[in-house]
């Protein structure tokens, strides 16, 4: 028999390795996302698929839309889960509401504000960036001054900045934007389901989120909503939306009453999202907000009782994500890796300007419960002293 060529050997080896079923350990995901999926959501995802044009699935689409409106507290007609992760929903908002030459004011209070700047620039916007230090929020005065000076078509803000743990105040912004013929766009990736948020009361025109944080569904869908004002801007475009897949002009026909084919939807992911939203409705949105707040305060008190410093002032602190200052001299990445490998608990490292300075601890969706807080606090109390000692010796 002739010997196998290197290419044949590689193919043969790959085939052998693929025979083993996947095996992953159980983790408690207390980082910046994803959070653990509720077991009932995983069970829903495992149901046999339906066609994306099956009448039963079309009815499920209606249910998902209605429950998303409830979660966001909006009556927006066009409220859907984008077939893609939260970043796809993020890009969808920019692609549909920004035309080349539009002025867009972007509030940057962390890493994801910078991502909005990048995306707006790629779609040809004249981007005006307003900034606050990483750990602070933008003041209403700063935002008003930028809108008055630059007269933007869109003001884009991050409601819950995942890189810093800051909760951006929104009171008065929507009303001011509407008075200046400006759309208000909001990143709610780390706030939907866990942080008080009423889009219609706040005058928000466009918002996006993700499935894997406060909703406790695996990543893969990006909730998206647009107001009648935003739809009017889309309809008045002089040019086509330069992203075919995320063009809401086409998606309207699929998610609207016509149900015209657009793309093959991720049916089973929408099964999971429907169950996640059903559980949120069953709990009640205000009860969910209160639960997240209760458990975050339990975490904050426990961390501070151990002598740890929290990065964000309490009045701006997210109940879904907490940034903890890494003690001087401690190798933050090494400690996070130890927690994962030795105890199966994930906490996040810092991102962007806060890399190496903070840990990011998420309490989102089903993970926001007292027993998870206590488990994490006990582990930090037991394990962190050894890393402090190593730092002192060094």
Per-residue pLDDT tens over the stretch 140-154: 999 999 999 999 999
The model's confidence at residue 113, banded by pLDDT at 50, 70 and 90, is very high
pLDDT exceeds 90 at position 245: yes
Q: Is residue 128 helix, strand or coil? A: strand
Domain containing residue 65: CATH number: 3.40.640.10
378 within a domain of the structure (yes/no): yes
User: Which of 282, 316, 337 corresponds to the end of one domain?
Assistant: 282
5 within a domain of the structure (yes/no): no
Mean pLDDT of 104-115: 98
Range of the domain at 99: 39-282
pLDDT exceeds 70 at position 379: yes
* 304-316 pLDDT tens trace: 999 999 999 999 9
- The domain total for the chain is 2
**Do 303 and 30 meet the contact criterion of CB atoms below 8 Å apart?**
no
If asked whether residues 85 and 210 sit together in one domain, one would say yes
User: Which of 249, 282, 315 corresponds to the end of one domain?
Assistant: 282
Respond yes or no on whether the N-terminal peptide bond of residue 34 is cis (omega within 30° of 0).
Answer: yes
Q: Is residue 247 helix, strand or coil? A: coil
pTM score, whole prediction: 0.93
Give the phi and the psi of residue 292 in degrees, each rounded to 5.
-60, -40
* 324-364 pLDDT tens trace: 999 999 999 999 999 999 999 999 999 999 999 999 999 99
23 within a domain of the structure (yes/no): no
122 within a domain of the structure (yes/no): yes
User: Which of 282, 301, 328 corresponds to the end of one domain?
Assistant: 282
If asked whether residues 318 and 336 sit together in one domain, one would say yes
Tokens of 323: 């940034």
If asked whether residues 294 and 278 sit together in one domain, one would say no
2 within a domain of the structure (yes/no): no
Rounded CA-CA distance 97/205 in Å is: 10
* 190-215 pLDDT tens trace: 999 999 999 999 999 999 999 999 99
Bridge-based pairing of strands 154-158 and 183-187 is parallel
* 32-48 pLDDT tens trace: 999 999 999 999 999 99
């Amino acid at each position: 028999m002739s010997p196998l060529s290197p290419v044949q050997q590689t193919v043969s080896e790959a085939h052998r390795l693929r025979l083993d079923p996947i095996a992953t350990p159980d983790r408690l995901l207390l980082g910046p996302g994803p959070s653990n999926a509720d077991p009932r959501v995983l069970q829903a995802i495992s149901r046999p698929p339906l066609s994306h044009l099956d009448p039963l699935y079309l009815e499920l689409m209606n249910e998902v839309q209605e429950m998303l409106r409830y979660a966001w507290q909006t009556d927006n007609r066009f409220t859907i889960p984008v077939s893609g992760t939260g970043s796809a929903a993020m890009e969808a908002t920019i692609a549909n509401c920004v035309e080349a030459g539009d002025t867009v004011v972007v509030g940057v209070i962390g890493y994801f504000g910078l991502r909005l700047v990048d995306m707006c620039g790629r779609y040809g916007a004249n981007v005006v960036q307003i900034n606050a230090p990483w750990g602070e929020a933008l003041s209403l005065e700063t935002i008003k001054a930028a809108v008055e000076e630059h007269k933007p078509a869109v003001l884009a803000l991050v409601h819950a900045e995942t890189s810093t743990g800051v909760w951006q105040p929104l009171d008065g912004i929507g009303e001011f934007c509407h008075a200046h013929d400006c759309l208000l766009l909001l990143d709610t990736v780390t706030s939907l389901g866990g942080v008080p948020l009423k889009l219609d009361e706040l005058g928000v025109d466009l918002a996006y989120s993700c499935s894997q944080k406060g909703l406790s569904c695996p990543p893969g869908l990006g909730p998206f909503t647009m107001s009648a004002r935003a739809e009017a801007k889309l309809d008045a475009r002089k040019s086509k939306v330069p992203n075919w897949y995320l063009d809401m002009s086409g998606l309207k026909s699929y998610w609207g009453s016509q149900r015209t084919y657009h793309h093959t939807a991720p049916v089973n992911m929408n099964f999971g999202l429907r169950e996640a939203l059903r559980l949120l409705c069953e709990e009640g949105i205000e009860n969910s907000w209160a639960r997240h707040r209760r458990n975050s305060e339990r975490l904050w008190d426990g961390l501070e009782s151990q002598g740890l410093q929290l990065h964000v002032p309490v009045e701006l602190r997210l109940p879904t994500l907490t940034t903890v200052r890494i003690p001087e001299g401690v190798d933050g990445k090494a400690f996070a890796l130890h927690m994962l490998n030795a105890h199966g608990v994930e906490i996040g490292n810092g991102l962007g300007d806060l890399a190496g300075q903070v840990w990011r601890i998420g309490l989102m969706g089903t993970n926001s419960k007292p027993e998870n807080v206590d488990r994490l606090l006990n582990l930090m109390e037991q394990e962190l002293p050894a890393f402090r000692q190593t730092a002192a010796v060094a």
